[in-house]
Each structure stands twice: as C-alpha cells, then as structure tokens.
Structure 1
C-alpha cells in the first residue's frame, strides 16, 4: 500500500506556494502521493479562502520529483472537457508523468453547483460525466477528434502534445455505492476513489473485477482521517491510503502530520 496526503486547498492552504512547500516536505518524509480537493467555492463558509487545485498542483509539480499528484475529485459536470484535457496534459508533462485525474459527478453541497447555474440533477450530471470522459480521452490520443454528443461537440480538432503517460493519463473514478453506473464507469478506467466502508469496498471491487475480468493494474485510493487504521481497506484491495485532513486545516496541522508520518516511516 502506498501513502498520500489529501488536503483541502482552503484557508491557510489556499496559497499554491504554501502547498508546494508542504508537498516538498511530505515527499522528503516518505509520502508517495499528494492529492487536493477540487472545489470552486464553499458556500456554507463564505469567509473561507478557496484556492485553485490545478494551479496549486502545478506549483507542487515543480517542487517534487517522485510523488504521484492528483485531484480527488474533479467534477467534470462543471468543467469543459477540452479545458480539462489541456490542463491535465500540461500537469502530466510538468510533473514528468506523475499526474492522476480523479473524477466524479460532483455534489451540490451548499449550492456549489446551483448557485453558479450548473446542472444539479444527478442523472444528468452522470450522463455529462460519461460523455466528458469520452471527449477527454479522445483529445489525449493526439488524433483528430469528431464528436457530436448530447452535451459536447468537437469538430475535427487535434490536441497536441499528448500526455507523457501512455496510453493516457490514469483516471480514478469516485463511487459511493455499487449502483451500476459508478461501477461501469470505474471498470472502464484505471482506479477507484471509494467513499464507503471496508465491507462496501469489497463489494465494489467484486463487481468491478467481474466487469474488468480482474483487478490487475487497478488502483484503489481509499481515504481516512489521521490516525485511522488503513489495514481493513488494504485487506480488501486498497492500493493507496490517503490521509485526509478536514475542511479547515492549518499549515501547522499538516506539518505535524508530515512529522508523524516521517517518524513511523523510518
């Protein structure tokens, strides 16, 4: 099992330079990954500073050499797939092939979607997510793309450069249940970001493994708060444990977690 920090870029952590410094310290301490929440606003906390995770990850990429970097998760329902495709390739190249794209339909917590006029109905968000993923993967291919879908259109365009990672940048899919839609989506791609119990994860992986014909090369990025034992998740198939800090986290609290990890990793 590999270990990562999973941070909210809010408050003191909204500054990309602060996150880059913390990431460098985390890599030196032995963490193998660094992931950020992807939000535009926190409507229930109007005074809270919110940083951009993509810009922050670019800063992190320049200060680290080995760690896997990624979003967990990016709601493609409120992002144009062509912009995500461009940004992801830029991060992949800047990091030397260390970027992972975590995706999901997103949530309307506090009105984060509806207060910007974004789609709120889950069924439509899921449909937009699936089509957006098709567009992103086609654009990453470097070939000319013709796509005339329900939600998105690409009229004979070719995106270069292509990602460093081949055949493409890994995509990890968020899921909270064993409903057919999330399970089919996860099975199509390279990893799972589960939000469930160890027992729920075992059920998810059984369904995904059946659809894929096995779980070889499939990453499972479970997450939990500092101090939680990851062993129950590892035992049922998790390949990553993301130490998830709460929505309001100070620099000192992240530093303390990095120091604790360094102490137990020696």
Structure 2
C-alpha cells in the first residue's frame, strides 16, 4: 500500500505568467508536502487571458527552487516542437533538477485559443499523432546517449549524440494524455510510463481505462502512473480506488490567481492510500 501523490497543475497565465512567482509557489508546495508541480504548455489562451509564460523557462526556475518534488510540462504538444531541441531541453532540465522531470505529451488542440492555426501548425489530429509518435521515438533514442540516426519525411537527426544523458534511466518518464474512449492514446500511453485522462467524467471511466492499459502493457510489470486532473474540493478517493496514482489539482485558466493556488497548496496534498498492483 502506498499513498496517492498530489501535484499542482498550473496554467501559466496572467498572475502565474511570472516564473519567479511560480517558483516560489513550487518551493512552498514542497515544504507543505506536495509531490509535484506541473505546468501547462501554451503560446496563448482565449480572452480574458492576456499574459502567458514559457513552460520550459518556468520549469527551470522550479527545478532550481526545489529539491524533491516532481515537475514537468503537462502536457506539451510535441507536434509543434522540434524533437531534437526537446531532447536537449529535457536532458538538461532533468540534470538541473537531479532526475525529477516528467514529460507529459499530447496532440494539443486548436479549440481553446486557435494557437495551432495562428502559427501555421498541423491541424489534422491523425497527422499530429504521427508526429507525436515519431518525436517520442527520437526522444527515446536520444536519451540513450547513443548516436541517433532518424530519417523520415518529417524529421532528420543524422548521427547526433545527445550528451549528457538525463539523470533518470533509461530516460525521462513520459505520460501521454488522451480522451476517454479513444483507444489510440491508450496504446501510445501503454508504450510509455503513464496516462493522463483528459475530461474524465466519472471514476468508472477511469477503472475501464486502467483495465485497458493494463491489458496493453502485459507482461510489463514496471511501475505505471495514472494522473487524474480534478478541481480542488473534489474527492480523489474514488479515482484512487479505480487506479489513479496521482491527483493533479486543476485550476480554471481564465480566473486562476496566485492567492487561489496558495490557498489550495496550504490545504495540503491528499492523504489516501492506494493499491499499486492496480496500476501494474
């Protein structure tokens, strides 16, 4: 039996667009017993949001302001990032944090801010899925420390070694996000280290997801994470019983404030025991 781990899941908007302020929140969260701080990855958001911080710079600030909590982008749409650059960023960030980075990945969406269409990115979900999977192949190869030889229509990495390697071995843990009921993201997540269900409506949905992922991962017996976003005040216990290993305390992006986040973190993390065998 272990404990459900708890993390703040922060949209880096307006009052939270200051990396120094977010780093202070992370340090306070660590002192209060929280296990992680994860941040959104967006270029912009719909009104009334005006200010948006870069996640990678903010994560570097978090890494230097804390000692033991886990951190990372949750989630980064890899299809709009160059995988070779992300390989360097993730290895360096994991080194900076002493092996505490988790890389959350997903397709991204044009729905909330039109940020994909506004910057000329790929809009087709299937195509972005292919780009995501190919990027993850490159990252996995890069984290090995061996020369990467990847040639495709989308990406070329010709004999580059990405050293120094991440502290974590064989590489940075990857959590893949997806909508409940869509099996393709579950297959992707089963190949990696965790799953983040987006827009989860009920613990029964999560139980079905855990059953599916467990079946896809057999005979793999390595630890696996299921990270469930829930608003503060929601009861994470039914989700922990269904197989969640992390609770991500989520905040409304249009109204989040430093005081609101500080109030939640001072309430402390969830204190719920879980049976880890459900997530193996």
TM-score (norm 2): 0.90
Are residue 200 (structure 1) and residue 205 (structure 2) matched? yes
Q: Which residue of 1 aligns with 2:244?
A: 238
**CA distance 1:263–1:175, shift in 2 (3 Å):** closer
Distance in 1 (alpha carbons) for counterparts of 2:271 and 2:240:
18
Kept after mapping to 2: 8 A contact 1:178/1:203: no
1:55-94 deviation per Cα after TM superposition (whole angstroms, max 9, x unaligned): 0010011111110011110000111111111111111011
Distance in 2 (alpha carbons) for counterparts of 1:150 and 1:244:
37
Kept after mapping to 2: 8 A contact 1:16/1:55: yes
Q: Which residue of 2 aligns with 1:106?
A: 108
Shift of 1:9: 0.6
Distance in 1 (alpha carbons) for counterparts of 2:258 and 2:41:
19
Are residue 93 (structure 1) and residue 98 (structure 2) matched? no
Kept after mapping to 1: 8 A contact 2:13/2:49: no
Kept after mapping to 1: 8 A contact 2:180/2:209: yes
Q: Give the superposed CA RMSD.
A: 1.7
Distance in 1 (alpha carbons) for counterparts of 2:75 and 2:144:
22
Q: Which residue of 1 aligns with 2:190?
A: 187
**How many matched pairs?**
264
After TM superposition, the structure 1 stretch with the greater mean CA deviation from structure 2, 49-58 or 189-198, is 189-198
Q: Which residue of 2 aligns with 1:156?
A: 159
Q: Which residue of 1 aligns with 2:275?
A: none
After TM superposition, the structure 1 stretch with the greater mean CA deviation from structure 2, 190-199 or 89-98, is 190-199
Distance in 1 (alpha carbons) for counterparts of 2:82 and 2:136:
11
Distance in 2 (alpha carbons) for counterparts of 1:77 and 1:143:
23
After TM superposition, the structure 1 stretch with the greater mean CA deviation from structure 2, 210-219 or 225-234, is 210-219
Structure 1 unaligned spans of 5+: none
1:137-167 deviation per Cα after TM superposition (whole angstroms, max 9, x unaligned): 1111111111112311111111111000001
Q: Which residue of 2 aligns with 1:249?
A: 256
Kept after mapping to 1: 8 A contact 2:5/2:270: no
Are residue 218 (structure 1) and residue 224 (structure 2) matched? yes
Are residue 84 (structure 1) and residue 83 (structure 2) matched? no
Pick from 50, 54, 57 the counterpart of residue 55 of structure 1. Answer: 57
**CA distance 1:147–1:63, shift in 2 (3 Å):** same
1:184-225 deviation per Cα after TM superposition (whole angstroms, max 9, x unaligned): 100100001112232221111111111111564001111111
Pick from 136, 152, 155 the counterpart of residue 133 of structure 1. Answer: 136
Are residue 39 (structure 1) and residue 42 (structure 2) matched? yes
Q: Which residue of 2 aligns with 1:28?
A: 31
Structure 2 unaligned spans of 5+: 273-280
